[in-house]
C-alpha cells in the first residue's frame, strides 16, 4: 500500500515556521512527509531538515520521496519524546524551527492490519511502533473495568464510557476480544440505539481513547514541547497541529506557561523567582472551509505557533 496522506494546514504551518533558508528544522511527526517536503523544498543546500517518526513505514517512504531535496536530510526512527537525544546524536545544539502534526496519518488509519480503524476488520493493534509491546488487544483484555472506563471517558470524552467498559468485561469473560469488529459490536451493544443514531460512528471515541493509551500520546506532550522550546534558537518557531481538544488543551497550557515572566505572588515587593518568559505568543488557526471540504479529516484541526524569545 502506498503511503498516502493529506497534510493539514500545510502552507500555514510551514510559512510560519520557515524563517531562514539556511536554517535547521525538525519535523517531529514525519508521517507521510507532507510538512517535511514542504519545509525541505524551501531550504537551500546549507539548510538541514530532520524527520522523526517511530513508524518504520514512514521512514521508508520518506527515503523515497526526499531524494531530490537540495538541503541535507536526516531521517530518524524514534519517538519524538526523545528529541533531545536525537539532536545530540546529530551534534546539533539548537534549531530554527520545529513542527508537530499530532494527527494519525491516513496511511495508518487506512491500512487495515494496523488495527486503527473501526471501518475495517483487523487484529486489535493500534501501535504506531511495532516495537511497542502493548497493543489495543492487550488493553481491552487485561485492563480492569475501572481502568477501561477511565481512559474511554478521559481520552475519548465518551459519555457512555462506564457502560462500554462494563460490556467489554462481560464479553471478554466469555471470549477473548481479538479484532476491531469484535470491539465495534460490543460498543454498539453498549450504547443505546437512540444515542447511536446521531453524531459520529459509535466506536470513534473509544477507538481514539485506546489509540492514545496504547501510544501514550498525551503523556509525552508536555515535556516534549518544553524540550523542543529549549532546543530552539532565539527567534525560532514552534508549530503544533492538534486534532482534538485534549491535545490542544495541553499545547495551549504549555505555551501559556512558557509565555509567563515573573510567577511570584502578587504581594511580593520584588521578584524572587527569577523566571523569565521563553516564548512570544503567535498565531492560532483552524482550517479554511475549502480545506475542510477537500479533506474532512481536517475539520477538528487547530494550529498553534509560538516564537522563542
Q: pLDDT tens-digit profile of 179-209?
A: 999 999 999 999 999 888 888 899 999 999 9
CA distances from 106 to 87, 90, 240 (A): 28, 29, 18
Residue 111 CA to residue 235 CA, distance in Å, equals: 39
Q: pLDDT tens-digit profile of 110-141?
A: 788 899 999 999 999 999 988 899 999 999 99
Domain at 117-214, CATH class: mainly alpha
**Taking the mean position of all CA atoms in its chain, how far away is CA 149?**
23
Stated pTM of the model: 0.90
In the chain, CATH 1.10.150.170 sits at 117-214
Q: pLDDT tens-digit profile of 2-50?
A: 566 689 999 999 999 999 999 999 999 999 999 999 999 999 999 999 9
The verdict on domain 10-102+218-308 having CATH code 3.40.640.10 is no
In the chain, CATH 3.40.50.150 sits at 10-102+218-308
Q: Which residues contact 187 (CB under 8 A, 6 or more apart)?
A: 164, 167, 202, 203, 206
Q: pLDDT tens-digit profile of 71-110?
A: 999 999 999 999 999 999 999 999 999 999 998 877 777 7
Amino acid at each position: 500500500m502506498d503511503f498516502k496522506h493529506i497534510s493539514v494546514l500545510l502552507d500555514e504551518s510551514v510559512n510560519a515556521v520557515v524563517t531562514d533558508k539556511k536554517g535547521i528544522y525538525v519535523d517531529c511527526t514525519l508521517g507521510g512527509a507532507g510538512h517535511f517536503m514542504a519545509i525541505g523544498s524551501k531550504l537551500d543546500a546549507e539548510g538541514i531538515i530532520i524527520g522523526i517518526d517511530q513508524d518504520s513505514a514512514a521512514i521508508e517512504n520518506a527515503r523515497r520521496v526526499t531524494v531530490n531535496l537540495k538541503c541535507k536530510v536526516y531521517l530518524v526512527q524514534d519517538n519524538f519524546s526523545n528529541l533531545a537525544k536525537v539532536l545530540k546524536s546529530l551534534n546539533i545544539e539548537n534549531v530554527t524551527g520545529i513542527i508537530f502534526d499530532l494527527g494519525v496519518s491516513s496511511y495508518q488509519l487506512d491500512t487495515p492490519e494496523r488495527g486503527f480503524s473501526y471501518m475495517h476488520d483487523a487484529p486489535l493493534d493500534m501501535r504506531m511502533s511495532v516495537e511497542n509491546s502493548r497493543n489495543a488487544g492487550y488493553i481491552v483484555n487485561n485492563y480492569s473495568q475501572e481502568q477501561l472506563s477511565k481512559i474511554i471517558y478521559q481520552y475519548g470524552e465518551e459519555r457512555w464510557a462506564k457502560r462500554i467498559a462494563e460490556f467489554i468485561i462481560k464479553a471478554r469473560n466469555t471470549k477473548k476480544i481479538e479484532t476491531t469488529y469484535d470491539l465495534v459490536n460490543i460498543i454498539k451493544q453498549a450504547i443505546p440505539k437512540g444515542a447511536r443514531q446521531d453524531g459520529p460512528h459509535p466506536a470513534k471515541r473509544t477507538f481514539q481513547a485506546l489509540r492514545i493509551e496504547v501510544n501514550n500520546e498525551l503523556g509525552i506532550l508536555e515535556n516534549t514541547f518544553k524540550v523542543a522550546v529549549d532546543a530552539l534558537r532565539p527567534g525560532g518557531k514552534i508549530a503544533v497541529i492538534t486534532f482534538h481538544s485534549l491535545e490542544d488543551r495541553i499545547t495551549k497550557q504549555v505555551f501559556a506557561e512558557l509565555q509567563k515572566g515573573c510567577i511570584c505572588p502578587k504581594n511580593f515587593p520584588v521578584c524572587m523567582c527569577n523566571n523569565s518568559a521563553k516564548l512570544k505568543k503567535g498565531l492560532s488557526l483552524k482550517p479554511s472551509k475549502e480545506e475542510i471540504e477537500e479533506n474532512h479529516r481536517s475539520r477538528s484541526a487547530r494550529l498553534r505557533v509560538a516564537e522563542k524569545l
